Amino acid sequence: MAETKTYREALREGMVHEMEQDESVVLMGEDIGVYGGTHLITDGLIDEYGPKRVMDTPISEGGFTGAAIGMAIMGMRPVVEMMTWNFSFLASDQIIQNAAKIRYFSGGQVEVPLVIRGPNGGGVQLSAQHTHSLENLYGHFPGLKVVSPVTPNDVKGMMITAIRDPNPVIFLEAGALYGTKGEVEEGDNAVEFGKARVAREGSDVTLIAYGRQVNLCMRAANTLEEEDGVNAEVIDLRSIRPFDEDTLVQSVEKTHRAVTVQEQWRWFGVASEVAAIIQERAFDSLDAPVQRVSGAEVPAPYARNLELEAFPSEKQVTNAARRALYIEEK
């Protein structure tokens, strides 16, 4: 059974599903309780679950993330909100030095079943300090799991999996997509980590993305079909750590061409990893070098037109595909 829901609703449903099952699941964050949450994801939950399970915190990202780590070590299952992932830098010492590593340097005596979630990515004119896409940053650290769901069904299913996971999970929501709609399965629709999603099957070129750029790639694929008769395959990575290499490789072995699209900057980003994996494992299948389309190498600007320019566009994606196909760019 599936219903059409928004990303926001589905996300909330995922959290509520687990809160119902397990009393040790608590929510923490700035203004998630009484205020209802800046994105209205937790709206009304404090009335249902009370302030001990829906905790409003002061503006102390480091403090409350660390406290949540402590709680998780003690067997609770906190779901901490970063009001936006742009504020996570303040908590990064706790995330990187503690959450990711405690299990390892305690010789396995301890586990940290913690979820840190919040809106990630840009595209809504929030300008430089409120616009980052942090898949590559957190994806870098062994000990963390990192996911970036795009569809409403995935955000619910991956939240359920995240809460159940005994490891710290960095849950990067596509902030610009909270209002988008999709079919969401009823009940327990846990989506496993480490498996990419083939959003569109194709034969001529593989477009690879995560976050809202997946939707961009779907639009680009339609354009390529209409204008160039090219049948593109679109892969939604969705699980950054663990990463699904096999789906990528199989796709490129079929299509022989790859374009990877990301909102974040080119240097040392996820697309670099994708390109490296493809050339390592599918070298003899490649008809062209792996193309990368990334954000402009600047802090995010405010003005609407500049912001649009700063992030990948359909034109850039389709032209990258055309380059890989050796057909004329438009």
Partner 1 sequence: MPEVIMPKMGDAMEEGTLLKWLKSEGDDVSEGDAIAEIETDKVTLELEAEDAGTLAQLIASEGDEVPVGGAIAFIAGEGEEVPERGGSEAAGGEAEAEEGGDDGGGAQATATETEEEEESEGGAQAEAPSGNGAGGNGQFRASPIVRRLARENELDLSKIDGSGPAGRIVERDVKAAMERGDAKADGGGGQADGQAGVAAPEQPTEGQAQMQGFQPAKLPEPTEAEGTQLVEPTRMMKVIGERMTEAKQHVPHFYATVEVDMNNAMALRKQLNAQLEEEGIKLSVNDFVMKACAVALRNHPNLNAIYTTKGVELHQKVDMAMAVALDQGLITPVIRDAGSKGLAQISRESKDLATRAREGGLKPEEYQGGTITVSNMGMFGIESFTAIINPPQAAIIAVSSIVKRPTFDENGEVVPASMMKLTLSADHRIANGRDGAMYMAEVQKVLENPVMLMV
Partner 2 sequence: MSAENEHSENGGAVATSSERLVDLYKKMVEVRAFEEACQKGFRQGKIGGYLHVYIGQEAVATGFIDSFKEGDKVITAYRDHAHALLLGTDPKEVMAELYGKGTGMVKGKGGSMHLFDVERGLMGGYGIVAGHIPLGVGFAYAMRYQETDHITQLYLGDGSISNGAFHEAANLAGLWGKDGMCPCLFIVENNQYGMGTSVERTTAMTDLAAKFDAYGIENEKVDGMDVEAVLECAERLTEQVRETGKPYAVEALTYRTAPHGAADFFEKYREKEEIEEWRKRDPIGMLEKKLLENDAADEEKIDEIRSEAKELIGEAVKFADESEEPEIDELYTDVYSGADEYMGEE
> Residue 268 is encoded by which pair of tokens?
């040392």
Count of residues interacting with partner 2 (CB under 8 A): 45
List beta partners, residue 2.
185
User: Which distant-in-sequence residues (6+ apart) come within 8 Å of 11 by Cβ?
Assistant: 41, 152, 155, 156, 159, 173, 178
User: Which distant-in-sequence residues (6+ apart) come within 8 Å of 269 by Cβ?
Assistant: 135, 136, 262, 294
**Residue in 256, 292, 316, 319 binding partner 1, rule: CB under 8 A:** 256
Q: Assess 222 for contact with partner 1 (CB under 8 A).
A: no
The answer to whether the beta carbons of residues 27 and 42 sit under 8 Å apart is yes
The answer to whether the beta carbons of residues 318 and 223 sit under 8 Å apart is yes
Q: Assess 285 for contact with partner 1 (CB under 8 A).
A: yes
Q: Assess 326 for contact with partner 1 (CB under 8 A).
A: yes
Nearer of residues 238 and 257 to partner 2, judged by Cβ: 238
Q: Assess 229 for contact with partner 2 (CB under 8 A).
A: no
**Residue in 142, 229, 283, 305 binding partner 2, rule: CB under 8 A:** 142
Binding region for partner 1 (CB under 8 A) out of 41-49, 58-66, 263-271, 277-285:
277-285
Nearer of residues 169 and 290 to partner 1, judged by Cβ: 290
Q: Nearest distance from residue 280's CB to partner 1, in Å?
A: 8
Q: In the chain, how many H helices and how many E strands?
A: 12, 14
Nearer of residues 227 and 287 to partner 1, judged by Cβ: 287
* DSSP letter string, 4-69: EEEHHHHHHHHHHHHHHH-TTEEEEETTSSSS--TTSSSTTHHHHH-TTTEEE--S-HHHHHHHHH
Place of tokens 């660390």: 66
Q: Assess 47 for contact with partner 1 (CB under 8 A).
A: no
Q: Nearest distance from residue 278's CB to partner 1, in Å?
A: 11
Active site residue 140: no
* DSSP letter string, 162-227: HHH-SS-EEEEEEGGGTT-EEEEESS-----TT--EEEE--SSEEEEE-TTHHHHHHHHHHHHHHH
Q: Assess 138 for contact with partner 2 (CB under 8 A).
A: no
Selection from partner 2, partner 1, none that 301 binds (CB < 5 to 8 A by kind) is none
Give first-to-last CA distance, the chain, whole Å: 43
**Residue in 67, 76, 110, 286 binding partner 1, rule: CB under 8 A:** 286
**Residue in 67, 288, 306, 327 binding partner 2, rule: CB under 8 A:** 67
Binding region for partner 1 (CB under 8 A) out of 78-86, 155-163, 164-172, 283-291:
283-291
Binding region for partner 2 (CB under 8 A) out of 14-22, 138-146, 247-255, 322-330:
138-146
Active site residue 18: no
The answer to whether the beta carbons of residues 321 and 220 sit under 8 Å apart is yes
**Residue numbers annotated as active site:** 61, 130
Residue ranges that bind partner 1, judged by CB under 8 A: 256, 283-289, 326
Residue ranges that bind partner 2, judged by CB under 8 A: 24, 26, 52, 57-58, 60, 62-76, 93-94, 97-98, 102-111, 113, 142-143, 145, 165-167, 194, 241-242
